Amino acid sequence: MKLNKPGQLLFVSLAGLVAAAFLAACQITTIDYVFVASSAGSGSSSDGAIDVFAADSQSGALRPVQGSVATGGAQPVAMAVTKNYQNLYLANQASNNIVHFAVDTNGNLSKKDVLSLSSEGTTPVALAVNTAGDHLYVALARHPGTGGQVAGGVLAAFPLSSSGAIGSAESNGSLDYWPLVVPGFETDLIVPTGVVVTQNDRGVYVTTFDQSAYNPGGSTTSTANPGWVFGFSAGSGLNPASGSPFKAGVKPTSATADPTNRFVYVTDFASNELIGFSIQAGYSLNFLVNGPFKTGNEPQSVAIDPRGKFIYVANALDSSVSAYAIDLATGTPSSALNTTGSATNSTDTQPVSVIIDPALGRFVYTANKLGNSVSGFRLDPNTGTLAAAQGTPYPTGFAPTALASVPHGQHSSQMPAE
């Protein structure tokens, strides 16, 4: 068919409109920025590196959006973000410091202040920021002989200014930290592994294990329970919760708290279990009566979605993520089965950190230490099951160990209503 000139113009115009509509439909919209801390950058510096990715709102796929940012120290192990998403804190274990970064609306990081812990005789292990954004809680390993004390774990509370700057540690009597000591076993070596704050800012929990009682391949010198969670109530300072510390399996490695401030969940690396607790008056803990709950092998990290409906556990040895749906009345997690009939989802090698996107709560990401990558998944908000994101896994720097994420723009207000 041959078109006259007006017909040709009309055809070209329509074709252009169709093409424009197609491109608009395929346009990538950033929903979150994902930060990945790796043990070594690509340059000659001994500092670690933070890779910054943008997450696509439809698929959850990640793409790099800027060059790597130096962590300000060696061997980054943990990151935490304030709830206004304007400040990021990173712990460098080998450099014994905590670095504060400002986060702009495009996910760019600007290094601000640095808190050195070298003179304190402690090494940072894990970080958590309260909802108000005015306190940073740090689980620290204490070096032998520091201040005449035995080696072990401590918890420090650092006030944060309105701009996110880190202040001096709050005092616990004559000390600038709260010792993590098991009553009756005061000389045992307590190793901290994680810290979490409830969303109402009133409960603080530190996961630890007693190396004197649990030391694979080495000698043990204690009959104490090997795994413990230390609980504190926060208000005018920190106060140990009644009954703290609480028994927690063999080697608890991480913890998360639900958004309603009713439950705490802890991964047990040695027993391949997820331990559930209900939060009692004064922020003491009781076991969930029907737990613990089976995970994959060597669960390393745990996260709960912003609605409090689903839990995800990164299993380091299995290179997988376990998915659970939560009974909102009892806190009991049950396996969320995918269409394949499995409750687990394959990642790249050795996932050690897991997060859920804060904007819509629709995507799950793991940092894969031996895979030098991040794995991404789409979360079904109705069932909690996962499906691999497009293009996963995504290459990172060497041996990524920690993840954090902030929403892009006002997407945090778009969380679906229940």
Condensed to tens digits (0 to 9), the pLDDT of residues 247-280 reads: 999 999 999 999 999 999 999 999 999 999 999 9
Is the per-residue pLDDT at 88 higher than 60? yes
In terms of DSSP H, where are the helices of 132-233?
Answer: none
Residue bearing the bigger pLDDT, 176 or 158: 158
pLDDT value, residue 176: 82
Q: Do the beta carbons of residue 376 and residue 362 sit within 8 Å?
A: no
Which of 10-14, 35-39, 83-87 shows the lowest mean pLDDT across its residues? 10-14
Better pLDDT: 138 or 291: 138
Phi, psi (deg, nearest 5) at residue 22 = -65, -45
Of the candidate ranges 139-143, 206-210, 230-234, 410-414, the one whose mean pLDDT is the lowest: 410-414
Average pLDDT over residues 80-95: 96
The C-alpha atoms of residue 209 and residue 191 are separated, in whole angstroms, by 5
Mean pLDDT for 141-162 is 78
Cα separation, 43 vs 139, in Å, equals: 30
Residue 305: pLDDT over 60: yes
Confidence label for 118 from pLDDT (cuts 50, 70 and 90): confident
pLDDT score, position 232: 97
Q: Tokens 């109705």 identify what position? A: 382
The SS3 call for residue 376 is strand
pLDDT top residue among 22 and 355? 355
Residue 415 confidence (pLDDT) above 80: no
Across 19-24, average pLDDT:
37
**For the CA atoms of 88, 50, 60, 296, what is the dihedral angle to 10 degrees?**
-90
Do the Cβ atoms of 250 and 217 come closer than 8 Å? no
**pLDDT tens track for 186-221:** 999 999 999 999 999 999 999 999 999 999 999 999
Q: Please enumerate in sequence order all residues whose Cβ is within 8 A of that of 234, keeping only pairs 6 or more positions apart, or say none.
A: 130, 135, 157, 197, 201, 202, 203, 204
How far apart (Å, rounded) are the C-alpha atoms in residues 350 and 368? 5
| 7 sits in which H/E element | helix 5-26
Query: Between residues 364 and 236, which one has the greater pLDDT?
Result: 364
Decide if pLDDT at 316 tops 50.
yes
pTM of the model: 0.89
User: What CA–CA distance (Å, rounded) separates 320 from 292?
Assistant: 19
Confidence label for 150 from pLDDT (cuts 50, 70 and 90): low
Q: 79-88, 171-180, 206-215, 371-380: lowest mean pLDDT where?
A: 171-180
